[in-house]
Amino acid sequence: MEKITIKKDLFCLPWTQTILGTHLEGNVNFMALDWLTRVNYQPPMLGICVNRNNASSTAILDTQEFSVNVPNEDMVEITDYTGIVSGKSVDKSDLFPVFYGELKAAPMITSCPLTMECKLVKTVELPTNNFFIGEIINIYTEEQFLTDGKPDVKKIKPFLLTMPDNQFWSIGKNVGKAWSQGVAMRDRLNKGQKA
Amino acid sequence: MEKITIKKDLFCLPWTQTILGTHLEGNVNFMALDWLTRVNYQPPMLGICVNRNNASSTAILDTQEFSVNVPNEDMVEITDYTGIVSGKSVDKSDLFPVFYGELKAAPMITSCPLTMECKLVKTVELPTNNFFIGEIINIYTEEQFLTDGKPDVKKIKPFLLTMPDNQFWSIGKNVGKAWSQGVAMRDRLNKGQKA
């Protein structure tokens, strides 16, 4: 079928929904955060994209620390709320019970099944956003979210955001095993068989 | 329940599975790519994380261009294959039919429901990886993947990767509407009601 072009911000890669935790002028603050990724393998680093005008951007530049919190499906409403009111005008410090790890300005949300505390290592200034690269100092979870000692996505129950339809989605069914199904294909190709 | 720390690369944020397209010494090359995010709002930019030793890293530094292709659930096996054989030793140029947009070295996969061509604007060198920031020049899709003129995730059917369990997942059920459920909560709080 014919290819067509669409508006350049109209694309719906699903992003995992997280909540960014910072200290804004000494006060705990939170913001819904969708644009983030691993940016380095060793040591493990996360990169997060924050609008330069957001209070969270000021907070990170000030303290050089932040947390990334992964809410579960039961936290959709409160997560969305953190993204629609600004820390400049609304005090969000009482929204969640928090705990701290090694860092002083990376408040983590106790009710989130998975949380990370990060230390800023680099800020990339882009036209409308700051891209903050942080080294993951520690990851926190609970025994109930592990299977064989590893985080289990079906127990953690994160959710996803797609834009521009602005819908939240759960994780669906298993559709395969990575670094496994491709091995079988490689072996067939090596034997001169069809892919 | 008690919080515990886990190994720092043991966390399962679901990543949307994509395939990176490049020209490696003039030859079309592909690689499974999971670590990517929007990094700037206007103009729309994507950042992608590639191991420095990967052939794709050399290719992007050489041509300053790349494509990001979103495969659907039917493409799990071939997508996985692109991630387990290196372009240094295996010619992957015939794996997919490709098309081009404005750029000369950003081959896009015809069978992928959504593809983007990107021009490199900045390379962030990190300890083991290069983080390439590209401006999105064009996004391509087909009429059949749109609803009301916008990409529809339920028609595109992308899939996700979780690590370290290395499982692929489909998109599940709708669990809410973004910038909407939080508005109702804000209104309740503004009226002095409970969250």
**Residue A64 burial (CB count, 10 A):** 17
Query: What is each CA distance from A18 to A32, A73, B90, B150, in whole angstroms?
Result: 6, 11, 38, 24
pLDDT in tens, A18-33: 999 999 999 999 999 9
pLDDT in tens, A43-90: 999 999 999 999 999 999 999 999 999 999 999 999 999 999 988 888
Chain B residues touching residue A176 (CB < 8 angstroms): 76-77, 80, 159, 167-168
Q: Are B46 and B136 in contact (CB under 8 A)?
A: yes
% pLDDT > 90, chain A: 80
Which pLDDT value is given to residue A89?
A: 87
Which pLDDT value is given to residue B10?
A: 64
Q: How far apart are CA A87 and CA A80, in angstroms?
A: 14
**Of B39, B77, B172, Cβ closest to residue A126:** B39
Q: Are B99 and B92 in contact (CB under 8 A)?
A: no
State the average pLDDT over residues A161-190.
Answer: 92
Residue A9, pLDDT > 90, answer: no
- Band (pLDDT 50/70/90 cuts) for residue A1 is confident
Helix (H, G, I), strand (E, B) or coil at A123: strand
**Amino acid symbol at B159:** F
pLDDT in tens, A133-174: 999 999 999 999 999 888 999 999 999 999 888 999 999 999
Which pLDDT value is given to residue B149?
A: 85
From A26's Cα to the closest Cα of chain B, the distance in A is 23
Which pLDDT value is given to residue A114?
A: 95
Cβ contact (<8 Å) for B8 and A138? yes
- Could you tell me which of A95, A34, A55 has the C-alpha nearest to residue B178? A34
Q: Are B21 and B67 in contact (CB under 8 A)?
A: yes
**Of A39, A138, A172, Cβ closest to residue B131:** A39
State the average pLDDT over residues A37-48.
Answer: 95
Average pLDDT, chain B: 93
- Could you tell me which of A84, A90, A88 has the C-alpha nearest to residue A19? A84
Assigned token pair, A14: 């699903």
Supply the pTM of this predicted model: 0.95
Concatenated DSSP letters of B122-175: EEEE-SSEEEEEEEEEEEEEEGGGEETTEE-HHHH--EEEETTTTEEEEEEEEE
Q: How far apart are CA A57 and CA B150, in angstroms?
A: 30
From B140's Cα to the closest Cα of chain A, the distance in A is 4
Cβ contact (<8 Å) for A126 and B51? no
Cβ contact (<8 Å) for A13 and B11? no
pLDDT in tens, B65-96: 999 999 999 999 999 999 999 888 889 899 99
Assigned token pair, A144: 């109930």
Cβ contact (<8 Å) for B178 and A161? yes
- Band (pLDDT 50/70/90 cuts) for residue B108 is very high
State the average pLDDT over residues B28-53.
Answer: 96
Chain B residues touching residue A169 (CB < 8 angstroms): 153, 171-175
Q: How far is CA B183 from the centre of its chain?
A: 30
pLDDT in tens, B10-36: 666 899 999 999 999 999 999 999 999
Cβ contact (<8 Å) for B3 and A37? no
Assigned token pair, B91: 């010619």
Angle between helices A76-84 and B181-190 (to 10 degrees): 70
- Could you tell me which of B56, B53, B44, B49 has the C-alpha nearest to residue B136? B44
Q: Give Cβ neighbours of residue B18 (< 8 Å, ≥ 6 apart).
A: A13, B32, B33, B34, B36, B68, B69, B70, B71
Cβ contact (<8 Å) for B10 and A166? no
**Amino acid symbol at A161:** L
C-alpha dihedral sign at A59, A61, A62, A66: positive
Burial of A111 (0-12, 13-18, 19+ CB in 10 A): middle
Q: How far apart are CA B100 and CA B109, in angstroms?
A: 9
Least confident segment among A58-67, A170-179, B143-152: B143-152
Chain B residues touching residue A10 (CB < 8 angstroms): 139, 150-151
Q: Write the ipTM.
A: 0.95
Q: Are A141 and B13 in contact (CB under 8 A)?
A: no
Q: Are B119 and B125 in contact (CB under 8 A)?
A: no
Chain B residues touching residue A164 (CB < 8 angstroms): 150
